[in-house]
Amino acid sequence: MMNFITKAISNTLSKTILKAASKAITLAGLFSLALLSGCSQEKVEAIAAPEPVIIQNGEECDLCGMYINRFPGPKGQVFERGGVTAKRFCSTRDMFAYALQPEHQHRIEHIFVHDVATAPWDEQEKAQYIDAKTAFFVSGHDLKGAMGPALASFSTQADADQFIELHGGEVLKFSDIDIDTLSMMSHQEMHH
C-alpha cells in the first residue's frame, strides 16, 4: 500500500511540475515575443526619419535668434530624440555650432540641410532638404550666408565640384566638420 501511495504522490508531483514548467515555458516564450516585437518596433521607428519642415517667415534661428528667411544661403534643421519639432537654423554654420556641442550630440537623431544645387543662393528657402550626414559641404567659398561664411551643402560630389569652379573652396564630408572648422571659417571672415 505504501508503494502505491508513493507512486501516486510521485505521479501527482510529476504532473504538477510538468504543468508548472509548461506554463513557465509558455510565459517565457510570450515574454520573448513581446520583447522582440518591441525591439523590432523600435528599429522601425529609428529608421523612419522625420520630414524636414518648411521654415516660415518670422521664424527665428534656434542658435542666434535671427530671422531665418532674411538671409541668403543654406539653412539647417535638427531633430532630437523625443523632440516634437525641429530645431531650425539660419545657416549651416549655426546648425553645426549647435549640433557639435557635447550636450546636444547624443540627443540628435536627424540633421537636414538645403541642397544648394536646387535653388539660387539667395532663395534657399525654395531648395530641397537633404540628409546632412550624406551631404558634401563646401567651405571657403566666396558667398556669404547669415552672419558671414556658410557651409554650402550638396547632395552630390559633382554639384559641389561645380560650385567650387565658380566660387572656390574645398569639399568636406559631414564627419570632417568640427568646431575647429567653424572657428577657421570665422577667422577667415575677419581677414577678408
* Cα three-residue angle 118-120-124, rounded to 5 degrees: 75
pLDDT of 83 reads 82
149 and 72 in a single domain? The answer is: yes
Q: How many domains does the chain contain in total? A: 2
Coil vs helix vs strand at 86 = coil
30 and 81 inside one domain: no
What was the pLDDT predicted at 47?
Answer: 55
Look at residue 109 and tell me whether its pLDDT is greater than 90.
Answer: yes
Residue 81 lies in a domain: yes
Q: In what order do the strands lie in the sheet with 87-89?
A: 87-89, 76-80, 108-114, 129-131
Ranges of beta strands (E only) in the chain are 76-80, 87-89, 108-114, 129-131, 136-139, 144-145, 148-149, 152-154, 170-173
Q: Residue written as cell 577667422?
A: 187
Domain co-membership, 79 together with 40: no
**163, 93: one domain:** yes
Residues 61-103: pLDDT tens digits?
A: 999 999 999 999 999 999 999 888 899 999 999 999 999 999 9
Would you say 59 and 33 are in contact if contact means Cβ atoms under 8 Å apart? no
Residue 73, strand partner residues: none
Per-residue confidence band for 7, with pLDDT thresholds at 50, 70 and 90? low
- The domain of 15 spans 1-48
Sign of CA dihedral 126, 128, 134, 138: negative
> 76 with 148, same domain?
yes
For residues 116 and 34, membership in a common domain is answered with no
- Asked if 36 and 110 sit in the same domain, the reply is no
pTM: 0.72
